[in-house]
């Protein structure tokens, strides 16, 4: 057991630490002579150019990778993209035409709802592209094309390295769509790719440097009954996954909100010491996030902020700061998710929970 965990106390921590490798392996061989290589998609440049609607369908953590992808696809390819949980998608009548691309994201490749949604979408004439971690899995077999996330076997029930692999794969797909729609130039793709590749080293650095600040933040929220995770834009998508991870393994109730919605309800929850975890990395909406932090703090919240290195100002607005390296906003979910994974694990350990095997949860859900 100890050997399998590679010297780590649990699989989750081991898998969190594998993420730089996952990023590198997922990107290996994907850029050649300035062009993206995603042959598995099995669509011609012309077919890709005709895509006019994208649905990302998934469950759980994979759904959150989809929320991140929506932002990237809409911003780089200017194609409308909807993200939907597979259990909803399969029971409605979504608008699918031959120029619709459905992207099914599933770590295990065998989630019953996701598979049913794939089958349904294909019957309706969509091209279905799978993103999965398991070679030869049903999602891989039943999709028109598949990208493997190269996370290798994930043992901890709560997904970490697979999530990062999904985000990186979806980022590549968004870049490909951007290029095929004529929205991104070859030069832009090359630059994005090289910055994306840099995140491997940046995640390595986060893993080496943020242990103390994560531990301090975990200590501040360990006895809380509930917590809010907030952010805007990419930060909102990241906060959803942060809250899910916290619930899954520490049983601390956590809810994520787009920070601008605080005033429409969640702010009523805040009293002295209520933990608010905020994604406050550099972005066009940074100032807006800061004003949401101020509003929360004025009501007694204990603020834990994930912020960009060099941002000293944030210390005025937060009780605890966890710094991550500066990246473009598009890649902030990759870096900001890592301390949130570590934070949920640290809280779970302090609360005496079994981080690898949370109660009531299964690694894959093959029944409806
Ligand atoms: C279960 C797992 C989650 C996972 C979800 C979707 O709930 O516990 O970690 O995100 O299923 O699984 P999939 O394999 O389709 O990504």
Q: Dump pLDDT digits (tens) for 271-300.
A: 999 999 999 999 999 999 999 999 999 999
Model confidence pLDDT, tens digit, residues 167-219: 999 999 999 999 999 999 999 999 999 999 999 999 999 999 999 999 999 99
Centre of ligand 1 to C-alpha 344, Å, is: 17
Active site residue 363: yes
Model confidence pLDDT, tens digit, residues 37-90: 888 888 888 899 999 999 999 999 999 999 999 999 999 999 999 999 999 998
Decide if 323 contacts 339 (C-beta within 8 A).
Answer: no
Centre of ligand 1 to C-alpha 320, Å, is: 31
Kindly report the protein residue whose alpha carbon is nearest to atom 13 of ligand 1. 106
Which ranges of 79-233 would DSSP assign to H, the alpha helix? 86-89, 112-123, 138-142, 161-180, 186-209, 211-221
Decide if 139 contacts 106 (C-beta within 8 A).
Answer: yes
CB of 364 closer than 6 angstroms to any ligand 1 atom: yes
- Region for 249 from its dihedrals, namely left if φ exceeds 0, alpha if ψ lies in -120 to 50, beta otherwise: alpha
Q: With 90 as the cut, is the pLDDT of residue 367 above it?
A: no
Q: Which token pair is 320?
A: 């605890």
Centre of ligand 1 to C-alpha 149, Å, is: 14
Decide if 204 contacts 34 (C-beta within 8 A).
Answer: no
- Give the pLDDT score at 77: 98
Q: Is the dihedral of CA 21, 136, 59, 225 positive or negative?
A: negative
- What value does the mean pLDDT take over residues 13-34? 95
Calculate ∠ Cα 351-160-7, nearest 5°: 70
pTM strictly above 0.90: yes
Q: With 80 as the cut, is the pLDDT of residue 348 above it?
A: yes
CB of 59 closer than 6 angstroms to any ligand 1 atom: yes
pLDDT-above-90 percentage for the chain: 92
CB of 62 closer than 6 angstroms to any ligand 1 atom: yes
Q: With 80 as the cut, is the pLDDT of residue 331 above it?
A: yes
Give the pLDDT band of residue 35 (cuts 50, 70, 90).
confident
Model confidence pLDDT, tens digit, residues 128-181: 999 999 999 999 999 999 999 999 999 999 999 999 999 999 999 999 999 999
User: What torsion do the CA atoms of 64, 68, 71, 74 make, to the nearest 10 degrees?
Assistant: -80
Calculate ∠ Cα 23-28-30, nearest 5°: 110
Centre of ligand 1 to C-alpha 86, Å, is: 11
Kindly report the protein residue whose alpha carbon is nearest to atom 5 of ligand 1. 60
Q: What is the mean pLDDT of the chain?
A: 95
CB of 361 closer than 6 angstroms to any ligand 1 atom: yes
- Give the pLDDT score at 243: 98
Q: Is the dihedral of CA 145, 174, 63, 21 positive or negative?
A: positive
- Give the pLDDT score at 161: 98
Give the pLDDT band of residue 315 (cuts 50, 70, 90).
very high
Q: Which token pair is 109?
A: 């490749």
Q: Which atom of ligand 1 is nearest to 166's Cα?
A: 16
Calculate ∠ Cα 309-313-318, nearest 5°: 90
Q: Which atom of ligand 1 is nearest to 362's Cα?
A: 8
- Give the pLDDT score at 41: 83
Which ipTM score applies to this complex? 0.97
CB of 365 closer than 6 angstroms to any ligand 1 atom: yes
Locus of tokens 């907030």: 230
Annotated active-site residue in 5, 288, 350, 363: 363
Q: With 90 as the cut, is the pLDDT of residue 33 above it?
A: no
Centre of ligand 1 to C-alpha 365, Å, is: 7
- Give the pLDDT score at 318: 98
CB of 283 closer than 6 angstroms to any ligand 1 atom: no
């Amino acid at each position: 057991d100890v050997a399998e965990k590679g010297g780590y106390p649990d699989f989750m921590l081991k898998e969190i630490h594998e993420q730089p490798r996952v990023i590198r392996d997922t990107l290996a061989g994907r850029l050649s002579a300035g062009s993206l290589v995603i042959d598995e998609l099995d669509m011609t440049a012309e077919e890709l150019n005709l895509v006019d609607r994208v649905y990302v369908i998934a469950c759980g953590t994979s759904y959150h990778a989809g929320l991140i992808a929506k932002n990237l696809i809409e911003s780089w390819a200017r194609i409308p993209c909807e993200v939907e949980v597979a259990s909803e998608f399969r029971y409605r009548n979504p608008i699918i035409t031959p120029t619709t691309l459905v992207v099914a994201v599933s770590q295990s490749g065998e989630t019953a709802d996701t598979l049913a949604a794939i089958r349904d979408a294909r019957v309706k004439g969509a091209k279905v592209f799978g993103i999965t971690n398991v070679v030869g899995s049903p999602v891989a077999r039943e999709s028109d094309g598949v990208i493997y996330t190269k996370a290798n076997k994930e043992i901890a029930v709560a997904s970490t390295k697979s999530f990062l692999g999904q985000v990186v794969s979806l980022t590549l797909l968004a870049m490909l769509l951007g290029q095929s729609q004529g929205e991104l130039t070859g030069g832009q793709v090359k630059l994005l790719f090289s910055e994306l590749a840099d995140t491997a080293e940046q995640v390595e650095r986060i893993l080496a440097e943020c242990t103390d600040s994560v531990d301090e933040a975990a200590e501040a929220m360990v006895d809380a009954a509930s917590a809010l995770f907030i952010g805007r834009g990419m930060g909102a998508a990241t906060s959803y996954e942060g809250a899910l991870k916290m619930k899954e393994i520490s049983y601390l109730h956590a809810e994520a909100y787009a920070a601008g919605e605080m005033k429409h309800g969640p702010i009523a929850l805040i009293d002295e010491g209520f933990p608010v975890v905020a994604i406050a990395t550099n972005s066009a909406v940074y100032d807006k996030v800061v004003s949401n932090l101020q509003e929360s703090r004025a009501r007694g919240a204990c603020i834990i902020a994930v912020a960009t290195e060099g941002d000293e100002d944030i210390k005025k607005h937060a009780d605890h700061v966890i710094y991550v390296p500066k990246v473009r906003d598009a890649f902030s979910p990759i870096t900001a998710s890592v301390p949130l994974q570590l934070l949920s694990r640290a809280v779970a350990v302090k609360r005496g929970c079994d981080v690898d095997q949370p109660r009531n949860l299964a690694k894959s859900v093959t029944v409806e």
